[in-house]
Amino acid sequence: MPTERHGAVSKISRGSEAALDGIRITTMSIVLLVDDDRDNLWALQLALESSGHHAVLAQSGREALRTLLHVVPRLIVTDWQMPEMDGAELCRRIRCQPALAGMPIVMLSSLPEPPDEPVCWSAFFRKPADLAMLMHTVNIFISERLASASGSGPAR
């Protein structure tokens, strides 16, 4: 279940879910998936592509940063625990880049969200994540990004 303090997820938690039901993403959106576990990448890729998104995969935080030099996704979904660079450090580095600072980032972890960690992600899901809720959250963030890019309300 996502935390209730971040962006679109807090809207869901406060009762706006009915207003957001039926969101349809009319443009294929690129989502960057970052996880060192190939099975997790595959499962998330399948879920995203089944929902009409295009998944770009990275198996580490460093690979994700290299990918972001060439691909600008609408959203990033990252695992927390990875070798070399964890998901929290990846988030901090992304937030330091002005062109990417507003990028929605969904953090996944088998551990609870740490209370003492500075929050630089948009939503947090504990593994195993509720896939329907994760996809709903992804669609909300993408819809909001598309709406802000076009200057209109959420895409329906």
Tokens for 140? 């909300």
3-state helix, strand, coil in the chain (%, to 5): 40, 15, 45
| CATH placement of domain 30-49+61-149 | 3.40.50.2300
Q: Give the predicted TM-score (pTM) of the model.
A: 0.78
User: What are the residue boundaries of the structural domains of the chain, listed by start?
Assistant: 30-49+61-149
Residues 13-55 pLDDT 10s = 222 233 344 444 445 799 999 999 999 999 999 999 998 999 9
- pLDDT of 151 reads 65
Helix 38-50 to helix 131-150 angle (10° resolution) is 60
Residues 133-148 pLDDT 10s = 999 999 999 988 888 7
